[in-house]
Amino acid sequence: MAKMLSLLLLGCWLSLAQAAGVQINYALVSGDNDPHWPYIQALLLLACGQMNLRCELLAARDMNQGRAMEQMQRPDSSVDLFWGMTSRERERKLLTVRIPLDKGLIGWRVPLINADRPQLFKDVKTLRQLSAFRAGQGQDWPDTQILQHAGLPVLTSPDYPNLFSMLRQRRYDYFPRSVIEVQQELASPSGKGLMLDPYLLLHYPTAFYFFVSPQRPELARMLQQGLEKSVRDGSFDQLFKTFNSDHLRALKLSGRTVIELDNPLLPEGTPLARRELWFHP
């Protein structure tokens, strides 16, 4: 029933979004198989609908997050937006829409491991014990610095899809993935030969935002206002539950050992005091 209601609401938002057109060129920072995209697309259309705008979403060429940042800072940039974890650097260089798209779930991480090593973390209870294993992460991801700051060894790659094959080759031991993306990844061809570790849950406070080119301040304002309206009228929460409730229940998070990590990259402007913007598993 909830999913049907959300689809009806989304249909209403889309039918309203006819008054004016806005073109949004977004960066494919995780390639064509980005597990976040269906939810991100729905959020973009929701924000546009709330502002009575018809938005045309166009994919810019595939690039990693660092490259997207470089492109977006150029005066002649053809990239307007990407979505990802916040950091002081990103908020300093780009326009930040400070509504946590995932309600903070990007900071709750479960390890992907090789399927032939199901008991890898059975006896791991502390950060020190976890430091005996090597994680894999994207070269330009804020997560990499967070893990390294905690004393965890990290092997990096500039290419997100390659991290899955590197894990299968045992070039590292585990791939910490957020609870909102891991099941889509496991179900994709990238997840072949891998499994979800059943024992650990890593956590660090962070937010997953829209970052907008400084050349498009009107786009940043529109997204901020549209998402704020959706938070107030409950449509943001409804969309979040539609896309996330089922797989959060399936992960059985409450039975896992939680290892807390500090986040030295968390900007001071993070709206942690606004409880309506956050979810706690």
CATH code: domain of residue 65: 3.40.190.10
Query: Do both 199 and 110 map to the same domain?
Result: yes
Domain region containing 47: 2-103+208-251
Has residue 17 been placed in a domain?
Answer: yes
Has residue 256 been placed in a domain?
Answer: no
Cα dihedral sign for 163, 167, 170, 176?
A: positive
pLDDT score recorded for residue 36:
82
Has residue 42 been placed in a domain?
Answer: yes
DSSP readout, 102-116? TTTGGGEEEEEEETT
pLDDT score recorded for residue 77:
86
User: How far is residue 104's CA from residue 98's CA, in Å, rounded to a whole number?
Assistant: 12
User: How far is residue 211's CA from residue 93's CA, in Å, rounded to a whole number?
Assistant: 10
Name residues of the chain where pLDDT drops below 70: 1-20, 30-33, 281
Query: Do both 92 and 112 map to the same domain?
Result: no
Residue with structure tokens 């959060």? 248
Please state, as a whole number, how many other Cβ atoms lie within 10 Å of the Cβ of residue 138. Answer: 21
User: How far is residue 227's CA from residue 46's CA, in Å, rounded to a whole number?
Assistant: 8
Q: Which stretches does DSSP call E strand in 121-172? A: 135-138, 154-157
The two beta strands, 200-203 and 257-260, are: parallel
Has residue 280 been placed in a domain?
Answer: no
Query: Do both 8 and 94 map to the same domain?
Result: yes
- Domain count of the chain? 2
Whole-prediction pTM value?
Answer: 0.77
pLDDT score recorded for residue 108:
94
Q: 277: number of CA atoms within 13 Å, CB side?
A: 19
pLDDT score recorded for residue 20:
63
Has residue 26 been placed in a domain?
Answer: yes
User: How far is residue 208's CA from residue 206's CA, in Å, rounded to a whole number?
Assistant: 7
Query: What residues contact residue 170 under an 8 Å CB cut-off, 6+ apart?
Result: 114
Has residue 151 been placed in a domain?
Answer: yes
pLDDT score recorded for residue 253:
85
Has residue 69 been placed in a domain?
Answer: yes
Query: Do both 195 and 69 map to the same domain?
Result: no
pLDDT score recorded for residue 223:
98
Has residue 135 been placed in a domain?
Answer: yes
Query: Do both 80 and 136 map to the same domain?
Result: no
pLDDT score recorded for residue 31:
64
